[in-house]
Amino acid sequence: MTRLERFDAWVAKGPFTPEDLGLYRIVYASLALLVVPDLTWLAAYPDFLLHPPLGPFQLLTGTPSANLLVGLEVVRTIVLVLLGLGVWTRWVSIAATAILVLTYGLIYSVGKIDHTILLVLTPLVLSFAHWGDRVSIDAWRTELARPQPQWPLRLLAAMIALPFFAVAFVKAGTGWLLWTGQAVHGQFLMYYEALDRTAWLAPLAAHLESRIVWETLDWLTVLVEVALLVTLRWWRAFRIALAFVVLFHLGVFLMLNISFAFNIVVYGAFVAWGARLPARRVWLCAPLVAVVVGLVVPASASRAAILFGATVIALVFLMGQLRDVYQSRSARV
């Protein structure tokens, strides 16, 4: 077998079913509706305060008007709802990525990029996974019985693993693993003292003086980030590593009050939704419920809820893995 053939065989292997992908499409669209940002604040920024990042947004000639920004928010909502409903799924998926690139790119033109790229790319990648084939309006109209492509999930996994590995490399290269400094502690103090992130467990962490504990957190951070690329080859190992990444994000949220809810939404692609939930059309209400929830519940509360929900799923998954190991060892005995 040539290397290319081995690669083809590797990307073709996977445990995902059309039900998993169909249900995840609804999960993705509903949660994305809760985490996408408000755009209208950008209209208050004069042109000379815009510093678009390297890329297509350098073509921006001025601050978009409030009306245009409202219009983009409406279009974004409609596209995400259609995605959740599974209407013309392939084209709507591409449109979802396009509108997310556009809306995030506009707000990042003030000179600060938040790293939401995985959330943005997911619909485009999974459009190739035929994630509209189940639990969708498309499936209601035409029953589709084609095989489930696995390679888009493998690609999405690589898209998560590669940048995490890169940042682990930077951390290790700039001294995170040296005993001379505790990077997580330094980050915590910066957020706690300078940026006033004092919620959740931050006040408790402020009393933690042990250098060993903080240094351990430095090492665990780098380890978790490296683990995703190392385990990419095996689905079970990758999912276990991803579950630990969710716990890592929980820790970061509780101590530093930094929410990576937009990443958490993407990790949901690797959950076996079809094994846990019945693939019923009633779930198609979820995106519409999300629109209403998004209007009444503050975004910060939604993000916290997403993180805590993901933590429960990760813990249940990890306990299931432990149970499997215990049962297989008992069977051998």
Partner 1 sequence: MTLPASDPRGSDGKRAARVAFALTFAVFVIGTPLSWWPGHEPYPALVMPAFPLYKGAVVRTAADATVSFRDGQTASVALDRLLPPTPLESTVVAARTFNNDEWTRDPRIVAWLRERLERQFPGRSVTAIDITWDLTASGDPSFTTEQVRTTHVEFS
Near partner 1 in 209-248, by CB under 8 A = none
**Tokens 């990444």 identify what position?**
245
The one-character DSSP state at 191 is I
Q: Is 233 helix (H, G, I), strand (E, B) or coil?
A: coil
Determine the interface stretch with partner 1 among 141-149, 289-297, 301-309, 321-329 (rule: CB under 8 A).
141-149
Residue 193 or 324: the one with the smaller Cβ distance to partner 1 is 193
For the bound state, the minimum distance from the C-beta of residue 332 to partner 1, rounded and expressed in Å, comes to: 27
Burial class (CB in 10 A: 0-12, 13-18, 19+), 315: middle
Q: Is 35 helix (H, G, I), strand (E, B) or coil?
A: helix
Residue 162 or 322: the one with the smaller Cβ distance to partner 1 is 162
Residues 259-278 binding partner 1 (CB under 8 A) are: 274
For the bound state, the minimum distance from the C-beta of residue 184 to partner 1, rounded and expressed in Å, comes to: 9
- Amino acid (1-letter code) at residue 125: V
Binder of partner 1 out of 15, 88, 201, 223 (CB under 8 A): 15
**Tokens 């690609």 identify what position?**
155
Residue 175 is a binding residue for partner 1 (CB under 8 A) = yes
Look up residue 315 and give its two tokens. 């813990």
The CA distance from 222 to 238, in Å, is 16
Residue 4 is a binding residue for partner 1 (CB under 8 A) = yes
The CA distance from 52 to 75, in Å, is 22
The one-character DSSP state at 180 is T
CB neighbourhood size of 210 (10 A): 10
Binder of partner 1 out of 167, 240, 254, 313 (CB under 8 A): 167
Binder of partner 1 out of 159, 223, 293, 318 (CB under 8 A): 159
Residue 13 is a binding residue for partner 1 (CB under 8 A) = yes
Residues 281-320 binding partner 1 (CB under 8 A) are: none
Binder of partner 1 out of 6, 140, 166, 327 (CB under 8 A): 166
String of DSSP letters for 7-26: HHHHHH-----HHHHHHHHH
Binder of partner 1 out of 14, 132, 251, 268 (CB under 8 A): 14
The CA distance from 94 to 75, in Å, is 14
Q: Tell me how many residues contact partner 1 (CB under 8 A).
A: 79
Answer for the pair 277, 313: CB distance below 8 angstroms, yes or no. no
For the bound state, the minimum distance from the C-beta of residue 330 to partner 1, rounded and expressed in Å, comes to: 27
Binder of partner 1 out of 68, 78, 87, 163 (CB under 8 A): 163
For the bound state, the minimum distance from the C-beta of residue 277 to partner 1, rounded and expressed in Å, comes to: 14
The torsion region of residue 200 among left (phi > 0), alpha (psi -120 to 50) and beta comes to left
Residue 1 is a binding residue for partner 1 (CB under 8 A) = no
Residue 147 is a binding residue for partner 1 (CB under 8 A) = yes
In 3D space, the residue among 157, 148, 108 whose CA is nearest the CA of residue 268 turns out to be 157
For the bound state, the minimum distance from the C-beta of residue 219 to partner 1, rounded and expressed in Å, comes to: 14
For the bound state, the minimum distance from the C-beta of residue 46 to partner 1, rounded and expressed in Å, comes to: 6
For the bound state, the minimum distance from the C-beta of residue 65 to partner 1, rounded and expressed in Å, comes to: 15
Residue 128 is a binding residue for partner 1 (CB under 8 A) = yes
For the bound state, the minimum distance from the C-beta of residue 271 to partner 1, rounded and expressed in Å, comes to: 14
Residue 182 is a binding residue for partner 1 (CB under 8 A) = yes
First to last CA, the chain: 38
The CA distance from 59 to 50, in Å, is 12
- Amino acid (1-letter code) at residue 313: I
Residue 280 or 332: the one with the smaller Cβ distance to partner 1 is 280
Residues 96-115 binding partner 1 (CB under 8 A) are: 101, 104-105, 107-108, 110-115
- Amino acid (1-letter code) at residue 183: A
